[in-house]
Amino acid sequence: MDIFAEKTILTVSRLTSLIRGVLEENFEQLWVEGEVSNLSQPSSGHLYFSLKDSGAQIRCVMFKGAVKNLKFRLTDGMSLILRGRMSVYDQRGEYQIICEYLEPAGIGSLQLAFTQLKERLALEGLFDEKHKRPMPFFPQRVGVVTSASGAAIHDILNILKRRFASLEILIYPVRVQGEGASLEIARAIEDMNRLKLVDVMIVGRGGGSLEDLWSFNEEAVARAVYRSAIPVISAVGHETDWTICDYVADLRAPTPSAAAELVIASADQLRGQLDALSHRLQLAVETRIARLQASVDGMRRLLQNPGTMLGHLAQRVDDLSGRLDFSLENLTRRRREYFTRLESSLLHQSPSVQADQLRQKINYLSSQAERQMLLKLESVRQVFVSNTARLDVLSPLSTLSRGYSIAIRKSDGKVLNDAGDLVAGDRLDLCFNKGKAACIVEEVKSVNS
């Protein structure tokens, strides 16, 4: 139909339906990138939000069926890449994207889901150290929640076999990857708790990709491990793989083999302890009996020969009287030494000794005073000499010694420095360095001539 050909009157519904047709036909499959805003998720389970950049925005809706496959949680401000198709919401005359799939821009959606769940559970306290149950003192029955055909169970049994551990092992086979695996694992942990068949359990699997290990990053597994009354050792993948299950578990083993080692370590240790104790028990009782035997033998020897005993007693009497003499002598000597010490210290305190010391001090002080006086005089003299020298430099007499002379008018005694002050016939005295001469002016020469 050509709606422009003639004046065709359309209803609003008809026009909207036409517009929707155009949009749906031309934007059937599109990818778009932008930032989430105005996010809302009503109880219906559908997700509504706007995708925007600096210049525009567009409404988006994601229906419940697609939301179910979303691993991470959408938040306002998140950068997204989404796949969908254009459509029109007739009732409001709005065009919108019907979103089929979305992923965070920049990082993978699994990575984001992991980070989000880890943060949320950490906040709830699921990883807190205080919730960690201690490993059993002496585990006898070990549960293993893993695949019955995987590498993990193989590794665990190998270790236990090699170490001749006397343990009962109960395997609870589960799927460890794929849809629904996490629920199976969670249920297995719950069953183990309900049946109370084991002292400790290992939950895990062998190595694989992030997707393969994903079941151990699901909330269901985390919650089951947290609720378990039986201590749980988590052993997922390799050394470098950390899963949510590892964080919640009471103990994290880097690999399934390591988990098996951890379980039997305590039993091995106990056996060593028991052996050591048994040895000490034997040794202690033997020592005790040997000692008692020795003293019985000693007594018996004395009893058999009373003469020996008398001899011993006589020797003891001799020994004691010898020590008595010695100690008397000792006592006298110590008294004498004490007296000598007292006497010498008394002599040291005599007044003549103190007077000597005082005299020495006086001598020292008076010689010091004399020395200081001489020093002072010398410094005053130095000042005098240097001042005299400075006086010489300034004195007119020193100028005369260099050959200058001073003219003085006889009539008024004025010292002359200008010939213009003179007239012929004036009498002058010329003073030299040594002596003076009386002179008469013959002629005055003008300064300018």
Partner 1 sequence: MATEKFETSLKKLEEVVRRLEGGSLTLEDSLKAFEEGVKHASFCSKKLDEAERRVEVLLKRKDGSFSREPFETDDK
Is residue 312 involved in binding partner 1 (CB under 8 A)? no
Mask for 283-302, x = binds partner 1 (CB under 8 A): -xx-xxx-xx----------
Convert residues 248-277 into a mask of x (bound to partner 1 by CB under 8 A) and - (unbound): -------------------x--xx-xx--x
Chain position carrying tokens 């005073």: 369
381 binds partner 1 (CB under 8 A): no
- 89: phi > 0 → left, psi -120 to 50 → alpha, else beta; which? beta
Stretch that binds partner 1, among 81-89, 91-99, 158-166, 366-374 (CB under 8 A): 158-166
Return the axis-axis angle of helices 256-304 and 306-348, rounded to nearest 10°: 100
Site string for partner 1, 21-50 (x = CB under 8 A): ------------------------------
Instruction: Answer yes or no whether residue 154 interacts with partner 1 by CB under 8 A.
Output: yes
Stretch (H or E) spanning 215: none
Q: Is 216 in the site for partner 1 (CB under 8 A)?
A: no
User: Closest distance between partner 1 and the C-beta of residue 220, in Å?
Assistant: 18
Burial of 187 (0-12, 13-18, 19+ CB in 10 A): middle
Q: Does 197 bind partner 1 (CB under 8 A)?
A: yes
Q: Exposed (0-12), middle (13-18) or buried (19+): which is 337, by Cβ within 10 Å?
A: exposed
DSSP secondary structure string for all residues of 366-395: HHHHHHHHHHHHHHHHHHHHHHHHHHHHH-
Amino acid identity for residue 364 in this structure = Y
Task: Evaluate whether 188 touches 180 at the Cβ level (below 8 Å).
Answer: no
**Which CB, 277 or 373, lies closer to partner 1?**
277
Residue choice 165, 251, 262, 431 for contact with partner 1 (CB under 8 A): 165
Per residue, what are the HEC states of 18-37? HHHHHHHHHCCCEEEEEEEE
> Is residue 194 helix, strand or coil?
helix
Q: How far is the CB of 292 from partner 1 (least distance, A)?
A: 5
Interface with partner 1 (CB under 8 A), residue from 4, 31, 137, 384: 137
Using CB under 8 A, which residues numbered 402 to 421 contact partner 1?
none
Element spanning 277, H or E: helix 256-304
Judged by CB under 8 A, the stretch of 134-142, 226-234, 253-261, 309-317 that binds partner 1 is 134-142
Q: How many CA atoms lie within 13 A of 174 on its CB side?
A: 30
Nearer to partner 1, 280 or 301 (CB): 280
Q: Tell me which of 92, 120, 131, 161 binds partner 1, using CB under 8 A.
A: 161
Q: What does the block give as tokens for 141? A: 């029955």
Using CB under 8 A as the binding rule, whether residue 227 contacts partner 1 is answered as no
Q: How many residues sit close enough to partner 1 to count as binding (CB under 8 A)?
A: 40
Residue 137 carries which side chain, given as an amino acid letter? F
Amino acid, single-letter form, for residue 74 = L
Which positions lie near partner 1, rule CB under 8 A?
136-138, 140-141, 148, 154, 157, 160-161, 164-173, 191, 195, 197, 199, 267, 270-271, 273-274, 277-278, 280-281, 284-285, 287-289, 291-292
